[in-house]
Amino acid sequence: MLVVEDLTKTFGANIAVDAVSFTVEKPMMIGVIGRSGAGKSTFLRMMNRLTDATSGRLAFEGRDVLGLTGRSRRDWQSDCAMIFQQFNLVPRMDVVSNVLHGTLGRRSTLATMFNLFPRDDIHRAIDILERLGIAGHGPKRAEALSGGQQQRVAIARALMQDPKIILADEPIASLDPMNAQTVMEALRRIHEEDGRMVIANLHTLDTARRYCDRVIGMRDGRIVFDGTPDQLTTGAARDIYGAGADFSEAATSTSIDAIETPAARALHEAEAIV
Ligand SMILES: Nc1ncnc2c1ncn2[C@@H]1O[C@H](COP(=O)(O)OP(=O)(O)OP(=O)(O)O)[C@@H](O)[C@H]1O
């Protein structure tokens, strides 16, 4: 359903994403990992058409995503909702209105200017907030919520678009472990219950192992690992992060899972070796 072929992005002489290719046959939860600068954000931004690719092909359900323009490009951006590390909510606006802004792509400018939302959309926004366990915060300003609650509002806003894919760029990087866990569980449930594909850039290996069906490891713009969490051995983790000082820092950041899983144990052993 998703085909990525030789997708490349250069910024001047710098190759941010270098001939990335992979195929996804059915909706799943995919974690993209790699050190800072590996090209993870650029990849997601190309997928969502926030950034134009330099070359390559990206097709979703037969649709040539990179060739879309105008209205069809905006439709794709609706199908492919993005959430960000910093939530990108309107801080002073109430939670329900923030969620309703997920429908902006299909509303008139006039309706938007006067904050006129159809009753059905308001009900749907509240239902989605309920599902994410934060309906009680609906009337509050977004800025009054904790980081984890704000990220769930951002997820609710994305769900208002009824997307086929949710792209999450470091969704838990600003959160404490408890909030991070709640947000990752919400994304996992959205995948399992709705059958939506989720692709999340993650900076901790254990999060990718714990929540994802498939892990893609990027290094210097290239895919150097593509497999199941079980296949993500210490050797593979070293390839992804490099065997330098960065490796232990990035690979053993167990922000959520304090429990010593076999995977975490393997990483700690690797850290001892490096
Ligand atoms: N707008 C831009 N202009 C120039 N170079 C850029 C731009 N965006 C990204 N890059 C470069 O592309 C490379 C990949 O960056 P990218 O942000 O995709 O990496 P990342 O893996 O998401 O890293 P991080 O986890 O730090 O966000 C880096 O070398 C970065 O400096």
CATH number at residue 179: 3.40.50.300
| pLDDT tens digits, one per residue of 30-72 | 999 999 999 999 999 999 999 999 999 999 999 999 999 999 9
ipTM here:
0.95
Query: Which of ligand 1's atoms lies nearest the C-alpha of 218?
Result: 21
Q: Is 16 in the pocket of ligand 1 (CB under 6 A)?
A: yes
Range of the domain at 114: 2-273
Q: Given its phi and psi angles, is residue 109 left (phi above 0), alpha (psi -120 to 50 degrees) or beta?
A: alpha
Question: Total domain count for the chain?
Answer: 1
Distance separating alpha carbons of residues 96 and 65, to the nearest angstrom: 31
Q: What is the pLDDT of residue 270?
A: 47
Instruction: Return the residue whose CA atom lies nearest to atom 25 of ligand 1.
Output: 36
| pLDDT tens digits, one per residue of 199-249 | 999 988 889 999 999 999 999 999 999 999 999 988 889 889 886 545 554
Instruction: Return the residue whose CA atom lies nearest to atom 11 of ligand 1.
Output: 16
Q: What is the pLDDT of residue 116?
A: 66
Q: Is 15 in the pocket of ligand 1 (CB under 6 A)?
A: no
Q: What is the pLDDT of residue 263?
A: 47
Pairing of strands 2-11, 197-201: unpaired
- Three-class SS of residue 195? coil
Instruction: Return the residue whose CA atom lies nearest to atom 12 of ligand 1.
Output: 16
| pLDDT tens digits, one per residue of 139-165 | 999 999 999 999 999 999 999 999 999
| pLDDT tens digits, one per residue of 85-101 | 988 999 999 999 999 98
Q: Does the pLDDT value for residue 177 go beyond 50?
A: yes
Q: Is 41 in the pocket of ligand 1 (CB under 6 A)?
A: yes
